[in-house]
Chain A
Amino acid sequence: GESVGLHLPTLSVQEGDNSIINCAYSNSASDYFIWYKQESGKGPQFIIDIRSNMDKRQGQRVTVLLNKTVKHLSLQIAATQPGDSAVYFCAEKAAGNKLTFGGGTRVLVKP
């Protein structure tokens, strides 16, 4: 498959443990924040989003936390599975419908 960035920060996690992926954003005017998962050879896949007027949102096995005070976004994955191995990107959407992506974090799940 394609390699998305050879020098990404990597999070190694044991199968079954929880994962936390962090992201700092820059634009305090962003109104949406989104997490994407990108597996090798595939396009980014939407995981979850959160509006700027919320601080927490839960999905299936995932939780996104937003701290606007320090411009920080995190994605928590519960009971991490081998299929969760991928590169995870945060993105912020400001006015004008432009998404600005973070650099990505590679998650490796160890059996």
Chain B
Amino acid sequence: DSGVTQTPKHLITATGQRVTLRCSPRSGDLSVYWYQQSLDQGLQFLIQYYNGEERAKGNILERFSAQQFPDLHSELNLSSLELGDSALYFCASSGEDTASRAFFGQGTRLTVV
């Protein structure tokens, strides 16, 4: 168990809908990272928050947004969902502002139908 908790584990929704994925980082970790893992694109970095502020941005679509709350949990919002958004979404956390030793959660499997 990495200590990073993601909910829900599975989510099935229709095209055009909006969903929110939630992540609770390891106790004390200030950094949260979001990744997307799909069969054709592999693992891709989306965005990082550090102590409530956006710190780094990767290949995140404009339809997607994230935030980190004062209690350090984070949410990833995906809107106007398309079939191609079906993927595993991982959250990772680290104690410092460095991605190299982040601990990953078990992921949320999103299926868009």
Residues of A within 8 A of B (CB): 2, 4-6, 32, 34, 36, 41-46, 49, 89, 91, 93, 96-104
State which of B37, B42, B98, B106 has its C-beta within 8 Å of the C-beta of A97: B98
State which of A4, A6, A49, A100 has its C-beta within 8 Å of the C-beta of B37: A4
**Cβ of B101 and Cβ of A99 under 8 Å apart?**
no
Give the B interface residue count (CB, 8 A).
Answer: 28
Complex interface residues of chain B between 80 and 97 (CB less than 8 A to chain A): 88, 90, 92, 97
Q: Contacts A2-B88, A97-B99 known; A45 to B45 CB distance under 8 Å?
A: no
A38 CB to nearest B CB, Å: 9
**Cβ of B104 and Cβ of A89 under 8 Å apart?**
no
A10–B37 Cα gap in the complex (Å)?
19
Contacts of B106 in A (CB 8 A): 41-43
17 A-B Cβ contacts within 8 A? A2-B109, A5-B42, A6-B39, A34-B100, A42-B106, A43-B90, A45-B104, A49-B101, A89-B43, A93-B98, A93-B100, A96-B56, A97-B56, A98-B45, A99-B33, A99-B99, A101-B42
**Cβ of B56 and Cβ of A101 under 8 Å apart?**
no
Q: Tally inter-chain residue pairs, CB-CB below 8 A.
A: 64
Contacts of A32 in B (CB 8 A): 98, 100
**Cβ of B97 and Cβ of A97 under 8 Å apart?**
yes
Contacts of A41 in B (CB 8 A): 106
Mark contacts of B35-46 with chain A using CB atoms, 8 A cut-off: 1 yes-contact digit, 0 otherwise. 001010011110
**Cβ of A43 and Cβ of B101 under 8 Å apart?**
no
State which of A42, A43, A93 has its C-beta within 8 Å of the C-beta of B92: A43
